[in-house]
Structure 1
């Protein structure tokens, strides 16, 4: 982790960059986003955080991790709003990136090209185990991708899948531990559960 932050500290002297934090639900993506944002604030950098307006699980406005770590953010409906609201921020954080429209990679590229450090957190796969929203493109254009893992609730191995517990075919279903659980590859695909 420190190496990534050192690279971006040097990079920000001459230009911006894109960092992606991805993984399954309950893997610590938002917690890592908040940690990086807090480090930027300690360095006295100007920071703005954004999240999709539809994500109201823990708070209407704040970005909140599953372990209740929180940071003030601005909810937006479309990724283009981030360009309008970023102002003079030196660091822009974006949580739940998978819920944004497919213009988010262009928005992030525009910000990075202006010399802004962009830190993005989001699910890399949906509940069907398929790439989710703009995340694959964001991962492809990022200078740094950090994949974090949860712990499989069935066997204790590293979990990379978000297994949906409720019978819904909707691609977007906001939920917590009552609706999803992290699973490893074997337990996700097993018919025994």
Structure 2
């Protein structure tokens, strides 16, 4: 097999709610844009909290994005000249995202994703453990515990709902340290 001229790389940005995952993803993607690389940005269709057409951080940073519910939908877009693909809320995708990312890497595309590494019960969230194992680079971010001000690693759910997937913002979640995180 002939060696490709470019090799794709895979980066995962993870952490708890309010740790700045989306903000960091936007920062990384904007640097690629400044470098005159062609980028495509996707986010899971369940996250329309701030916008349907843009990826938005809690602090207001924005970048144009495409809503998808299935990672196979990435391949419906023209990827011929794409250098970098960004995907937010990666934890909401099925395990097939792993194979789809591998396909993008084989095409020489740099893939940067962001998502929650743990659910509100401190368990690996969806496909994240597999994605973390696949990654060439991992950036794990922390937030500030709303109870004591120490580093927060966990997302405290404030509403009583037993569904693993419950999209919300500050009305539904707080970042907490190990001492102050409570599993309901």
Question: What is the alpha-carbon distance in structure 2 between the residues aligned to residue 63 and residue 37 of structure 1?
Answer: 11
The reply on whether 1:62 has 2:64 as its aligned counterpart is no
The reply on whether 1:118 has 2:111 as its aligned counterpart is yes
Instruction: State the SS of the aligned residue for 1:187.
Output: coil
Q: Shift of the alpha carbon at 1:109?
A: 1.0
Unaligned runs of 5+ in 1: 1-11
Aligned residues: 180
Q: Shift of the alpha carbon at 1:83?
A: 2.3
Unaligned runs of 5+ in 2: none
Give the alignment partner of residue 36 of structure 1, picking from 25, 28, 32: 28
TM, length-normalised to structure 2: 0.94
Q: Shift of the alpha carbon at 1:13?
A: 6.7
Q: Shift of the alpha carbon at 1:131?
A: 0.5
Aligned 8 A contact 1:48 1:86 in 2: no
- Deviation sequence 1:25-68 (CA, Å, 0-9, x none): 00000000000000000000000000111111111121100001
Q: 1:189 to 1:167 in 2, by over 3 A?
A: closer
TM, length-normalised to structure 1: 0.89
RMSD: 1.6
Instruction: State the SS of the aligned residue for 1:146.
Output: strand
Higher normalized helix content (fraction of residues)? 1
Question: What is the alpha-carbon distance in structure 2 between the residues aligned to residue 188 and residue 13 of structure 1?
Answer: 47
Partner residue in 1 for 2:88: 95
Instruction: State the SS of the aligned residue for 2:138.
Output: strand
The reply on whether 1:149 has 2:149 as its aligned counterpart is no
The reply on whether 1:164 has 2:152 as its aligned counterpart is no
Partner residue in 2 for 1:132: 125
